[in-house]
Amino acid sequence: MSIVTVQLGQCGNQIGHELFSALCRDSRGTHGLCSNNENQSYQDSCKERFFCEEESAVPAARAVLVDMEPKVISQALSMAASSGHWRYSSHSHFCQKQGSGNNWANGYCVHGPRHKEAIMELVQREAERCDRLGGFLTIMSMAGGTGSGLGAFVTQCLRDAFPTSFILNHVIWPYGTGEVIVQNYNSVLTLSHLYHSSDALLVHENDVIHKICAQLLNIKQISFRDVNQVIAHQLGSVFQPAHLPCAVSLSDMSSCGFLLSGDLLESLVPHPEFRMLGLRNIPQMAESSLPYSTFSWPGLLRQMLIANAQMEEGIDWQVRPPQAGSCIPCTNKALHFNTSIANLLILRGKDVHSVELGSFQDPSLYTSWLNPQDAFTAWKTPRAFNKYEKSAALVSNSQFLLKPLDSIVGKAWNMFASKAYLHQYTKFGIQEEDFLDCFTTLEQVISSYTNL
Amino acid sequence: MMQRDPGRCRDMQGIADTSREMQTHPGRCRELQTHPGRCRHIQGDAGSCRARGRAGAPAVPPPRGQGALPRAGGPEGRSRWSPGRRERRDARAAAGAAPGAAPGAAAAAGPGAVCRRRGAVPGPAAPRPARPRHPAPRQSLDFWKLLYVLLKQIHGGSWTESDAIGAQVRFVQWALWYHGYRRPQLRRLPADGSVGSRELLLAFSWLLHCPGLLQRLLAHNRVQTGDHTSVCTCEDDVPERQEGPGEAGPEGRVDVRYLQWLHGRLRLQWCSLHAQHQEQCRLLHKIHSFTSGSHMDQNLGHFSVTEADLIRHPENYKQLLQLLESETTQLEAFLEWKQLEPVYWQWMETVLDDMAEEGNMCVSQDADVEKRRLPEVTSCCPWAARLAGQMDRLSRDLLALQEQLHQLVAQRKAAWWEKVAAREELQKERFSATARKAQESTELKLRGLPSLCAPQKTRMHGLCRLVLRSKQPASKVASGQCVSKEAAAALRAAEVIRELQLREASLQRELQQLQQQCRTRLDGIAEGLEGVICISP
């Protein structure tokens, strides 16, 4: 089962490159305490999923690189080739000579249709090289020009061309105090268009990652490279193979052991209105400290529940689910409590099979119309990830993005109401009605999440 | 084997159904009564079918009700409660699980014994056993278990010895209902399985006939080539309404968001399945194209998945051989049953006569145990008769409409062609081009119409084996080894695809209509609400 990655724009290409490096490094790395057979299946599965074996020994990433400028792409290509362990295919990139000037409309209405044929042909070629196409992963930033506008257009084309494949959009949420004036417009437009075409939006907020780098990793001068590496590490901990707890024996694993990306989507985003996913990964620490740290599973999980500040806010372990027949459950919960629709927990490393997960199945964490058995899924693998003896990742479909989303929509609306910078969009074909549609979509999303 | 010897397969299809298992079933029931330990012979897997066959062999103790016995009690006193009659009734009730009547019992003793006894069977008036027997719970239990095992097999499930009797009873009742068996007496049997052996006998005979229990078992246990795909272009019949509780009360209300959640999961799982199917097809194509020209059978020309696997893992040949042998044994048993089948149905007739005398049901004249659906249905669902009448009326109206439409179309066409001819004379080329375009588009639209009201076009249904034809590399030909009774025909994949596309187009149209209706309804509702703006999706 293979995933084709589409890297869009400067941000997308840089992150994509880091992601493949992390995956390759982990796959070739030490396998901790799991058996050789398990490790072998793990490596095979990872390779099949993200890389394509070619006649030359170095595997080629299943990726299509798209950007309007040549600089970032050529950097990515050369860095990959020089690593010696993987590379990009020689003809899987598309770039032009000029940029898009951070203009969403330029990317969506001009560059998109103009280059649609070329880009889709590259994607089609990658897709045909897969025996089983699991789906598409697109990586882009929400606020820029190329990544966001062209990315939204490409996602739509992907949906049209592959109506039954999964599409997971990985979007980078801009800094709250970002430098691009129109980033709110871009974000609103991107989000609403992606909401229609893709199956799930996996969001990384720049602010949060920045905080991780500063506080947990103790990096003084945080560069984009550091941020990207953290993001790649978190993505890798989700996408690397894992399996359901019931498949304990090897014979289970060999047949259809490692879960497909469809299962990830199935457990988290079946509902069409709730598509936003957030990601938390524990532990995050500098590589230098790794050899000196040991963790216990209960400690790790408790730390995850607490460190994930949105989840911890207001969580009162005395809260019991409301009695049947009482008034609307929402009023029982603290106003800023983060209600989840669904959670997926991925555990990797030593002693995974004996972990107690009761705290994640507390009904007070979840919305009233879904019971915890449906809402919570856990994947495990004894194979360690990236030298961490034990690590856990939580992918969560919850209200965590409500506040940031609300603030972005509010700011964008204020700008829209005063018609600031609108001419830059209208001159390329995005009319005010399109803006209004986008606002409507996002208001609907906000209200759905608020009423959990 | 079926593929290598299509002639033989056709013979199989020409013959109606049973197998040695069925022939030995009455005997096996009897065995169960006498040898409860032999329950274990009823295994789901093919490998032990040989054990089954052997169980019916002459090692079995001779049947109880031997030979042609005179009617106990004689023809005198044909009142309902004469001792002879009661005795017979009791005996036959007991015989429900373990037919002591000679044909069944004789059949139990193996084919040789049956053939010997055939001469002794005196026709429809089957001999009665000498001793009356009261129905023992053990027999019913075993009969329930037998049906449970058989039905589980054809429904693809697995079973264990330890399945509770309550679960078995429920499953059998459900499976029978699913296949269309509507006899209410069966539903009323208690869940501990202690009584009801005669009802079960009736149900069993019905299963033999209507859903073709034996064909299904044979098909289920067939050795797979791995190349099969299922084809189904059947139109959906009117869905059966489940009898059950009416509208769910307030406690039964489900949040619509949960339903949306479930629907989304279903859709995503369907997408996964689709991707897996595509992968399977791709790999199958690889196997077929790589091994083309290597097969002994010129008709096929390439290996199937099983054969290709055997080449890679030759040590598996033993297993395959065993499977083929057991399949052969099953088929041979089936043939034997076929020869003895009339005897069984004759005996069943006597059972039915007996039940008719008790005034339980109205019996059809056929030898087969064919249940009349309508009386049972109307007793359970009073609206069914009305629905059937309405449907008849509707179909009549539709046919009439179709006639009118055809006439109208013909008239319009004629008028139009006159106009076109007149016009064409005026402007030659440009007009004919537009006319051609218009004609094509109307043809497209009309092509959709007949599919909506066509009476009964050929329906393809069943399993087909995929065969790659090298002469026309663009097309795949499927040679049908269909499970249904139609003659084995070769279907072209292109035809099947076209049929399915037409069906898809018509379903899409229907979906859009329904969505439009929902939209207008929503708009109507939203009009009535104050301060609400409804934005349709």
Residues A65-102 pLDDT 10s? 999 888 889 999 999 989 888 889 888 899 887 766 67
Residues A322-352 pLDDT 10s? 333 333 344 434 445 678 888 888 888 888 8
What band does B291 get if pLDDT is binned at 50, 70 and 90?
confident
Beta strands per DSSP E along A283-411: 340-349, 376-381, 390-398
Q: Check residues B507 and A250 and name the one with the higher pLDDT.
A: B507
Average pLDDT, integer, range B211-218: 80
Closest to A270 (Cβ–Cβ): which among B264, B275, B278?
B264
Find the DSSP H helices in A91-221.
104-105, 112-128, 151-161, 183-197, 206-211
Q: How far apart are CA B325 and CA B331, in angstroms?
A: 10
pLDDT of B431 reads 67
Q: Are B187 and B193 in contact (CB under 8 A)?
A: no
Q: Check residues B49 and B297 and name the one with the higher pLDDT.
A: B297
Average pLDDT, chain A: 82
What band does B119 get if pLDDT is binned at 50, 70 and 90?
very low
Q: How far apart are CA B130 and CA B121, in angstroms?
A: 16
* Other Cβ atoms closer than 10 A to A116: 15
pLDDT of A231 reads 92
Closest to A131 (Cβ–Cβ): which among B260, B274, B279?
B279
Structure-token pair, residue B270:
């369907």
Average pLDDT, integer, range A263-291: 82
Sheet holding A87-88, edge to edge: A51-52, A60-61, A87-88
Q: How far apart are CA A93 and CA B248, in angstroms?
A: 57
Query: Closest by alpha carbon to B366, among B503, B509, B205?
Result: B205
What band does B245 get if pLDDT is binned at 50, 70 and 90?
very low
A223 CB contacts (<8 Å, ≥6 apart)? none
Average pLDDT, integer, range B355-370: 51
Hey, what's the torsion of the CAs at A129, A130, A136, A139, to 10 degrees?
Answer: -60
Q: In whole angstroms, how large is the CA radius of gyration of chain B?
A: 30
Query: Closest by alpha carbon to A388, among A236, A188, A166?
Result: A236
Structure-token pair, residue A291:
């050899």
Q: Is B362 on the interface with A (CB under 8 A)?
A: no
Residues A118-141 pLDDT 10s? 999 999 999 988 888 888 999 999
B455: pLDDT strictly greater than 90: no
Q: Check residues B435 and B110 and name the one with the higher pLDDT.
A: B435
Q: Tokens 């880009």 sit at which residue?
A: A119
Compute the count of residue pairs across chains A and B with CB atoms less than 8 Å apart. Answer: 58
A31 CB contacts (<8 Å, ≥6 apart)? A38, A39, A42, A383, A384
Residues in chain A: 452
Q: How far apart are CA B123 and CA B31, in angstroms?
A: 25
What band does B250 get if pLDDT is binned at 50, 70 and 90?
low
B357 CB contacts (<8 Å, ≥6 apart)? B80
Q: Cβ contacts (< 8 Å) between A131 and chain B: which residues?
A: 279, 282-283
Q: Which of A24-33, A268-277, B13-22, B357-366 has the lowest mean pLDDT?
A: B13-22
Q: How far apart are CA B20 and CA A80, in angstroms?
A: 67
pLDDT of B152 reads 83
Window B:127-166, CB contacts with A under 8 Å: none
Query: Closest by alpha carbon to B324, among B216, B230, B229, B225?
Result: B225
Q: How far apart are CA B227 and CA A333, in angstroms?
A: 56
* Other Cβ atoms closer than 10 A to A60: 19
Q: How far apart are CA B57 and CA B54, in angstroms?
A: 5
Average pLDDT, integer, range A248-269: 60
Query: Which of the 8 DSSP states describes residue B225?
Result: -
pLDDT of A414 reads 93
Residues in chain B: 537
**Could you give the angle at the alpha carbon of A434 between the alpha carbons of A433 and A439, nearest 5°?**
95
Average pLDDT, integer, range A224-248: 82
A329 CB contacts (<8 Å, ≥6 apart)? A321, A322, A368
Contacts 24+ apart (CB under 8 A), B491-496: B491/B231, B491/B460, B491/B464, B493/B466, B496/B231, B496/B233, B496/B460
DSSP A294-322: ---HHHHHHHHHHHSHHHHTT--TT--PP
B83: pLDDT strictly greater than 90: no
pLDDT of B450 reads 63
Q: Are A51 and A43 in contact (CB under 8 A)?
A: no
What band does B71 get if pLDDT is binned at 50, 70 and 90?
very low
Q: Which of A21-25, A287-291, B192-196, B472-476 has the lowest mean pLDDT?
A: B472-476
pLDDT of A42 reads 85
Residues B482-521 pLDDT 10s? 322 223 456 677 888 888 888 889 889 999 999 999 888 8
Q: Is B251 on the interface with A (CB under 8 A)?
A: no
pLDDT of B251 reads 62
Average pLDDT, integer, range B60-87: 39
pLDDT of B350 reads 87
Residues B164-205 pLDDT 10s? 778 888 888 888 888 888 777 777 777 776 777 778 888 888
Compute the nearest-CA separation of A166 from chain B (Å): 8
Q: Is B497 on the interface with A (CB under 8 A)?
A: no
Q: Cβ contacts (< 8 Å) between B258 and chain A: which residues?
A: 369-370
Q: How far apart are CA A404 and CA A417, in angstroms?
A: 20
Q: Which of A383-387, A407-411, A430-434 has the lowest mean pLDDT?
A: A383-387
pLDDT of B385 reads 67
Residues B379-414 pLDDT 10s? 445 566 677 778 888 888 899 899 999 999 998 989
The sign of the torsion formed by the CA atoms of A365, A366, A371, A372 equals: negative
What band does A245 get if pLDDT is binned at 50, 70 and 90?
low
What band does B221 get if pLDDT is binned at 50, 70 and 90?
confident
Highest averaged pLDDT of the listed ranges A135-144, B106-115, B199-208, B417-426: A135-144
Structure-token pair, residue B222:
């067939």
Domains of chain A (ranges, CATH numbers): 2-277 (3.40.50.1440), 282-400 (3.30.1330.20), 403-450 (no CATH)
Q: Are B304 and B4 in contact (CB under 8 A)?
A: no
Q: Which of A386-400, B123-137, B296-310 has the lowest mean pLDDT?
A: B123-137
Q: Check residues A223 and B19 and name the one with the higher pLDDT.
A: A223
Compute the nearest-CA separation of B509 from chain A (Å): 18
Find the DSSP H helices in B6-136.
6-14, 20-34, 49-55, 83-95, 102-108, 111-118
Closest to B275 (Cβ–Cβ): which among A165, A266, A368?
A165
Average pLDDT, chain B: 66
Record: contact B272-A270, CB cut-off 8 A: no
pLDDT of B366 reads 37
B48: pLDDT strictly greater than 50: no
* Other Cβ atoms closer than 10 A to B513: 10
pLDDT of A4 reads 93
State whether residue A380 is helix, strand or coil: strand
* Other Cβ atoms closer than 10 A to A266: 23
Query: Closest by alpha carbon to B114, among B76, B162, B153, B57?
Result: B57
Q: Are strands A2-8 and A60-61 parallel, antiparallel or unpaired?
A: unpaired
What band does A259 get if pLDDT is binned at 50, 70 and 90?
low
Q: How far apart are CA A285 and CA A303, in angstroms?
A: 14
Percent of chain A residues past pLDDT 70, beyond the cut: 85
Q: Which of A25-34, A154-163, B323-332 has the lowest mean pLDDT?
A: A25-34
Residues from A in contact with B at Cβ < 8 Å: 1, 131-134, 164-166, 199, 260, 262-263, 265-266, 269-273, 368-370, 374, 440
What band does B469 get if pLDDT is binned at 50, 70 and 90?
low
